[in-house]
Amino acid sequence: YLLRQRYADERRCLIGDAALTSPVPLGDPSPPYDRGCPAGSASGGADAGPDGSTNHLTVVDRWGNVVSYTNTIEQIGGSAIAVPGWGFLLNNELTDFDPAPIHPPAPDPNLPAGGKRPRSSMAPTILERDGRPWLAVGSPGGASIITTVLQILVDRIDFGMTLPQAIAAPRASQRDSATTEAEPAFVAAYGDQLESRFGQAFGPIDAIGNATGIEIRRDGTLVAAAEPVRRGGGDAEVLHRR
């Protein structure tokens, strides 16, 4: 399917005279194919597809050991350097340091130096209940990771949603700025109230985060959940060995 001319023609429609302003979504090489190029298809960019630089996985084994693991190479392709003989890419996390003090002459602890780690928004989380693991969750998403994880926990714990409902719920991300990033469904549900009561301004964004999570019930059974729609949907499974 990848080598079929009709699929190549479909992807060629995304190539225009100007560079796109956002990543191109992953293609589906299986038929049916679009037979023509929609007007303006190559001129305005496309919605971002699945994250290509950061990912998160959540795992619970049959003995109850829990892993909540976020890893990243910082941007697509990382530093563009692969380790000879091993084939994996080195990250580009130096860009998470501040290249110069933000508020001179005040000291900036996030300047690059030997032995230092850059500031990070990664928030792989494991919650305990009665001294035992109860809920594990995390997400990619750069600076929006912390707000993504926080909203899932608030929806699950304070608002009584199930874990799948909490992960699927619309999100916003306020990071000490005049405008709050928010998904369209969040603005539609809460925008008018927040704007009228608090004067909050929103900047629309298609998707925030790409979370996975597992909840361990009191009877030892598991609830695994991932995004149902965001960035093409995630994967959540419970494997039963016979």
Quick check: bond before 32 cis, omega within 30? yes
Choose, from 54, 148, 180, 212, the residue flagged as catalytic. 54
Whether the pLDDT of residue 228 is over 50: the answer is yes
Does the annotation mark 54 as catalytic? yes
Tell me what pLDDT residue 200 has.
Answer: 83
Distances, alpha carbon 20 to alpha carbons 7, 14, 30, 195, in Å? 20, 9, 24, 32
Q: How does the average pLDDT of the chain come out, rounded? A: 85
Q: What is the C-alpha separation between 144 and 48, in angstroms, rounded?
A: 15
Residue that the structure tokens 């949603």 belong to: 161
Tell me, what's the pLDDT at 78? Answer: 84
Q: Answer with the residue of higher pLDDT: 7 or 216.
A: 216
Which pTM does this prediction carry? 0.73
Chain length of the chain: 242
| pLDDT digit string, tens, across residues 184-199 | 999 999 999 988 888 8
Of residues 134 and 21, more confidence is placed in 134
Residues 6+ apart with CB under 8 A from 227: 167, 168, 209, 210, 211, 212, 233, 234
Q: Using 50, 70 and 90 to split pLDDT, how confident is the model at 23?
A: low
